[in-house]
Chain A
Amino acid sequence: MHIELEKRAAMSPAFSILSPLLALALTLVFGAIMFAMLGKDPVAAMSAIFVEPLLETWSLHELAIKAAPLILMGVGLAVCYRSNNWNIGAEGQFTIGAITGSYLPIVFYDWHSPLVLPLMLLLGALGGALFAAIPAMLKAHFNTNEILTSLMLVYIAQLFLDWLIRGAWRDPKGFNFPVSRDFAPEAVLPAIWEESGRAHWAFIFAIVAAGLTWFMMRYTLKGFEITVLGQSERAGRFAGFSSKKMIWFGFLFSGALAGLAGICEVSGSINHLQPAISPGYGFTAIIVAFLGRLNPLGIVASGLVLGLTYLGGEAAQLSIGVSDKVTRVFQGLLLFFVLSCDTLIYYKIRITWTRMRGGVA
């Protein structure tokens, strides 16, 4: 007997719907087995991870905070990936966006004006886009591998931030510790609904960005151009599209959204610059983009689900006393099953029974 994967002629509509359900069922089953083997009540564990974070208002706010940068960056990356350009450096563009956006509140901290915040957001997006322009330029003109260049630039961005915070931008009143001065109130991204929690406007930006990008991909010529060039560069050229321009577009678009995410995070959540501003959002956003199947609306959902597993994992540490690593394994299970079940959309499993050669004597 052997099992083969056979490519379907067209993607299976049934499995497009069934695959995530199957993945979820498998995750629940294997997760339950894992928790049971650890001697924990699997039901309590699942409830702590998936339900408890959704029952309290403050926790929903936290979910929005956690999901916002993931969605913003995931949406940008999806467009870039659809066009067959591979920007792996969103983490770096996030960092540079945070830096350029913080220029006003740190260097011109005495300038108090309602213009500060919009300018900060603009500078943040601009910074992210400019930083993404480096791998775009290298690819468009020298045909370098953008996966490597964009990834390497992440470290440059992080060390640049580190250098700034320990040097020129260090808080003069901070006892030499590596933090910038706190942003003035008008430089802080306001909360959406202050009385109930600390979620801020980044989440609104994320939803709007996802909606607009979805519209662009679906109803505009640009969206068509992205898809065509992404699927077949040659076909795109016949249609009069320039793959060089598409490299620029993909990188600038994803870079700008990553930069915006960066300044939103710093302005809304942290309120100053510090050496560590992201627990790897730029890399997690790659997972979010693929989990959402490079569809902007799917990414909203996948960003929320991934955010939920982080929050849930933390809640489970407290309520049922499992270690942080167990919840990471659980996250891994979820991602593994979701991505592997997607195989069934494009492939079908064929089991062939072949007779054993040679008879029994």
Chain B
Amino acid sequence: MKKLTFALAASAAAVLGFSSAASAADKTKVCYVYVGSHTDGGYSQAHDLGRQQVQKEFADKVETSYLENVPEGPDAERAIERLARSGCSLIFSTSFGFMDATVKVAAKFPKVKFEHATGYKSGPNLGTYNSRFYEGRYILGQIAAKTSKNHGAAYIASFPIPEVVMGINSFEQGARSIDPSFKLKVIWVNTWFDPGKEADAAKAMVDQGVDVITQHTDTTAPMQVAEQRNIHAFGQASDMIAAGPHAQLTAIVDTWGNYYVKRVKALLDGSWKAEQTWDGLKEGVLTMAPYTNMPDDVKKMAEETEAKIKSGELHPFTGPINKQDGTPWLKAGEKAEDGALLGMNFYIEGVDDKLPK
């Protein structure tokens, strides 16, 4: 029976389908794969704003398209292959979980160029790019230490991968630079995108008396909870001021647009090469949302720290830093190397949590 349905579906649609002619494609196609929805108000939306900037910048030369809500796993491989087959010249796969899928498809389509965000595998036609989110999180930590009345904050975290652990440590490091007794609670929600879980985590933390929360998940739910409960919070990936007009202190905003424009320009003039890029506040792939809902002196401090990080005068991970158990990690004046940061799987002193192993 269902076989019949199937055959009929195919044939009916085949009859209907004559008019679907291929669209003219003399423009260069640049394509994106998102793990969430392009309007998630967070991570994927930030990438989509970057895509729109590319579209605007090269309106007459480039056509952009995207696939959204692509699950990590075999579906990602198919989605990326679909883009490669549909004539995309450059494909940005924007989530860590797309790494192996991107590697496989890149090997299969050597003429197509690929860039994968936040991963560590590359190839002759596969570059990687990432943002030094931790630079912004250091500033958040400093602001939190100035804002919290009970010397602590809560961190709503997604998955215990190095990227996230690095962010937690950087936040704590910033906070400790102001208040050495600062304690950071961490709550793992094991998702990048789940408004319900994120909101529950935020509520649980507020109930425990936390007055500043920050997040490494993609929705505005924690910000909304902060707004309702009259506490403070930091936006993540996108400026979340609309969700928390009285709650948001600032947000670390992913501004991929400049990077995307740079890479597409390289693609058009033929100078594109697979590179491993890790830019930050200085290069402008990370920007701070306006500092709001805080006294002027805190705002001034935040702006000064931001300027110092940009000029290279301040590296958030500068010793002396001890690991959580008190054993030394960095000596006084020693700066963490990028490799150590990218593989980070331990907490520094002051983080009030046991890292899931």
Interface residues of A (CB under 8 A from B): 16-17, 20-21, 23-24, 28, 41, 43-44, 46-52, 54, 56, 58, 62, 65-66, 162-163, 166-167, 175-179, 265, 269-272, 274-279, 291-293, 297-298, 300-302, 304-305, 308, 311, 314-315, 317-319, 321, 323-325
Contact = CB atoms under 8 A, between A and B. Distances in A.
Given A24-B5, A41-B19, A51-B13, A265 B68 contact: no
Contact of B83 (A49, A270, A318): A318
Given A65-B74, A178-B159, A44 B20 contact: yes
Interface in B113-158: 120
B68 A323 contact: yes
Contact of B162 (A177, A298, A314): A177
Q: In the complex, which of the residues B1, B14, B68, B86 has the most CB atoms of chain A within 10 Å of its own CB atom? A: B1
B41 to A, nearest CB: 15
Contacts of A176: 161-162, 343-345
Contacts of B112: none
B343 A324 contact: no
A66 B13 CA distance: 21
A46 B17 contact: yes
B2 A298 contact: yes
Given A47-B13, A47-B20, A305-B6, A166 B73 contact: no
A274 B73 contact: yes
Contacts of B86: 318-319
B73 A279 contact: yes
A291 B9 CA distance: 15
Contacts of A44: 17, 19-20
Interface in B80-118: 81-83, 85-86, 96-97, 100
A298 B3 CA distance: 7
B65 A20 contact: no
Interface residues of B, number: 51
Given A51-B13, A314-B82, A321 B65 contact: yes
A175 B343 contact: yes
B311 to A, nearest CB: 30
Contacts of A270: 73-74, 100
Given A21-B5, A176-B161, 5 more contacts: A20-B1, A47-B19, A50-B13, A269-B73, A319-B86
Contact of A293 (B1, B12, B69, B344): B1
B194 interface: no
24 contacts: A20-B5, A24-B9, A24-B12, A41-B19, A43-B19, A44-B20, A47-B13, A49-B13, A51-B17, A56-B85, A58-B85, A166-B160, A177-B161, A269-B74, A270-B73, A279-B71, A279-B75, A301-B1, A311-B78, A319-B86, A321-B65, A323-B38, A324-B68, A324-B69
A178 B190 CA distance: 12
B162 A51 contact: no
Contacts of A163: 356
A47 B17 contact: yes
Contacts of B190: 162
B37 interface: yes
B67 interface: yes
Q: In the complex, which of the residues B20, B37, B71 has the most CB atoms of chain A within 10 Å of its own CB atom? A: B20
Nearest to B165: A176
Nearest to B9: A50
B8 interface: yes
